């Protein structure tokens, strides 16, 4: 500490000098010395740490994983700035010193958690949104901490506000989040109403195709101050699709997008399947294109439905295009996709092209089914190529496969 004392004494005890010394100690191996110097300098007469020196030290401590010390300094600087007219003074100092300390985004999670611990709820939530504007997203742990503390303080409207923000930003809740939200519903006295409404939407109305009544129940939820989230829309998308109300299913999908939500894969797949069956594969593909831009992750069932839809229309170019889209998205095509590809290409009269995908399957160690062989055999027979049909039949039997495809 002697050389640091000399260094500090050699310049005036001012706000510009201390950070300069601290930055010489920004490496994780020097973090404890930086903290010792921070505390030593605080004992100097007529000297008081500003936000800048606090934040540089906090960054250094977080980088070195000295989290207990970092949390203590964060709480100290937040208390010091409580009531300041400069609402974002601490977070601005952390952002300004982020690059020069070669810091980590985790420091901002600790900041939000420190605000939560000090029960400074409103500013904590404001800081979360402010950080997002500057390219830093809070972790689910930080949101859970904030929701938990706010809920314990009986500020239920703020709990829902934070939860809505979390969902809209596609930070998906876990069990901890759900437990906290259930507790908030209990405090509001709305838990049983919410459960009953969801049960009625799923268990009765959507299942029986009573879609209009399900929409009324969604309105009832909103009247209770309970905003419908993804699961409610998913049930309506699925219910409308199964009831053959495809325009309504698409409309519910669009409503989700307006609320910055995306449907679950299972609900979307139900809609895509029905649209493709009914000759509206273009609509299904157009909606998928929109959803992909919103972060939606399709699976092989999604693509299988689309491939089958284009296959029924004989649009083999679209079928092949979808296969390459799967490959480009680094999704590994499974048996379902290859079955759809081969069946669709055969329907389009492209049996030689279909056989190409049989070869790709084998190269990728995917075992073809009897149904795949029978589709190819039937297509070759239809074209009059009996020799190739018999060859494939022999190959199928040699693999121990028995006729099964109807």
pLDDT tens track for 246-284? 998 898 899 888 888 888 888 899 999 999 999 999 999
Q: Is residue 308 part of a domain?
A: no
Q: What is the pLDDT of residue 215?
A: 56
Do 382 and 354 lie in one domain? The reply is yes
pLDDT band at 6 (very low <50, low <70, confident <90, very high): very low
Structure tokens at 103: 């810091």
Do 222 and 264 lie in one domain? The reply is yes
Residue whose C-alpha is closest to residue 198's, from 173, 175, 228: 228
373 Cβ contact list (under 8 Å, min separation 6): 392, 393, 395, 396, 401
Phi-psi category of 366—alpha, beta or left, where left has phi over 0 and alpha has psi -120 to 50?
beta
Q: What is the pLDDT of residue 248?
A: 86
pTM: 0.50
Place of tokens 């609402």: 87
Do 98 and 9 lie in one domain? The reply is yes
pLDDT band at 180 (very low <50, low <70, confident <90, very high): confident
Do 41 and 109 lie in one domain? The reply is yes
Q: Is residue 376 part of a domain?
A: yes
Q: Does the structure show a pLDDT above 90 at 229? A: no
Do 379 and 327 lie in one domain? The reply is yes
252 Cβ contact list (under 8 Å, min separation 6): 233, 236, 237, 240
Q: Does the structure show a pLDDT above 90 at 52? A: no
Q: What is the pLDDT of residue 190?
A: 57
* Domain final position from 240, 271, 298: 298
Q: What is the pLDDT of residue 50?
A: 78
Collapsing DSSP states into helix, strand and coil, what is residue 213? helix
Q: Is residue 179 part of a domain?
A: yes
Do 377 and 400 lie in one domain? The reply is yes
* Domain final position from 172, 189, 206: 189
Q: Is residue 128 part of a domain?
A: no
Do 106 and 168 lie in one domain? The reply is no
Q: Is the four-CA dihedral 90, 95, 99, 104 of positive or negative sign? A: positive
Expressed as residue numbers, the domain containing 276 is: 190-298
Do 380 and 360 lie in one domain? The reply is yes
Summarize pLDDT for 115-161 with one digit per residue, the tens: 989 989 889 999 999 999 999 988 889 898 888 888 877 777 788 78
Q: Is residue 303 part of a domain?
A: no
Q: What total number of domains does the chain contain?
A: 4
- Give the mean pLDDT of the chain: 81
Q: What is the pLDDT of residue 397?
A: 92
Do 283 and 329 lie in one domain? The reply is no
Instruction: Name the DSSP class of 332.
Output: -
Q: Is residue 122 part of a domain?
A: no
pLDDT band at 223 (very low <50, low <70, confident <90, very high): low
Q: Which residue has the higher pLDDT, 288 or 196?
A: 288
Q: Is residue 310 part of a domain?
A: no
CATH code at 380?
Answer: 1.25.40.10
Summarize pLDDT for 206-220 with one digit per residue, the tens: 444 455 555 555 565
Report the interhelical angle of 31-42 vs 51-63 (nearest 10°). Answer: 150
Structure tokens at 266: 């299972």
Do 195 and 280 lie in one domain? The reply is yes
Do 185 and 225 lie in one domain? The reply is no
Q: Which residue has the higher pLDDT, 335 or 240?
A: 335
* Domain final position from 298, 328, 358: 298
User: Angle at Cα 141 formed by Cα 25 and Cα 195, nearest 5°?
Assistant: 170
Q: What is the mean pLDDT of residues 378-386?
A: 92
Do 9 and 104 lie in one domain? The reply is yes
Per the CB < 8 A criterion, the answer to whether 53 and 19 are in contact is yes
Q: Is residue 134 part of a domain?
A: no
Residue whose C-alpha is closest to residue 262's, from 304, 222, 290, 226: 290
Q: What is the mean pLDDT of residues 156-182?
A: 76
Structure tokens at 327: 């490959």
| Percent of all residues in the chain with a pLDDT value above 70, rounded to a whole number | 81
């Amino acid at each position: 500490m002697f050389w640091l004392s000399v260094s500090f004494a050699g310049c005036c005890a001012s706000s510009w000098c201390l950070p300069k010394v601290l930055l010489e100690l920004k490496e994780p191996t020097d973090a404890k010395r930086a903290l010792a110097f921070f505390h030593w300098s605080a004992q100097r007469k007529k000297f008081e740490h500003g936000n800048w020196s606090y934040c540089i030290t906090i960054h250094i401590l977080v980088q070195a994983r000295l989290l207990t010390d970092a949390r203590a300094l964060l709480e100290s600087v937040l208390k010091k700035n409580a009531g300041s007219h400069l609402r974002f003074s601490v977070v601005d100092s952390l952002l300004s010193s982020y690059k020069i300390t070669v810091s980590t985004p985790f420091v901002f999670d600790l900041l939000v958690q420190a605000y939560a611990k000090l029960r400074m709820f409103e500013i904590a939530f404001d800081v979360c949104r402010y950080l997002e504007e500057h390219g830093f997203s809070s972790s689910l742990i930080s949101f859970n901490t904030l929701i938990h503390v706010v809920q314990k303080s009986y500020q239920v409207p703020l709990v829902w506000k934070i939860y809505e923000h979390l969902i809209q930003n596609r930070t998906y809740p876990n069990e901890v989040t759900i437990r906290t939200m259930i507790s908030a519903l209990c405090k509001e006295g709305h838990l049983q109403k919410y459960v009953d409404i969801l049960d009625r939407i799923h268990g009765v109305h959507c299942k029986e195709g009573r879609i209009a009544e399900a929409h009324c129940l969604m309105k009832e939820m909103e009247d209770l101050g309970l905003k419908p989230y993804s699961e409610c829309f998913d049930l309506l998308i699925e219910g409308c699709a199964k009831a053959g109300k495809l325009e309504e299913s698409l409309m519910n999908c669009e409503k989700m997008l307006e609320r910055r939500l995306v449907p679950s894969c299972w609900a979307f797949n139900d809609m895509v399947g029905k649209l493709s069956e009914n000759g509206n594969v273009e609509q299904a593909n157009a909606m998928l294109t929109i959803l992909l831009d919103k972060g939606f992750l399709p699976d092989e069932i999604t693509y299988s439905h689309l491939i089958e839809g284009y296959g029924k229309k004989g649009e083999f170019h679209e079928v092949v295009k979808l296969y390459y889209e799967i490959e480009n998205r680094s999704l590994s095509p499974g048996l379902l996709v290859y079955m759809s590809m081969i069946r669709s290409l055969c329907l389009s009269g492209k049996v030689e092209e279909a056989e190409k995908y049989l070869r790709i399957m084998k190269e990728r160690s995917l075992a073809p089914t009897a149904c795949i062989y029978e589709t190819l055999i039937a297509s070759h027979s239809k074209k009059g190529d009996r020799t190739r049909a018999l060859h494939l039949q022999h190959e199928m039997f040699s693999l121990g496969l028995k006729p099964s495809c109807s």
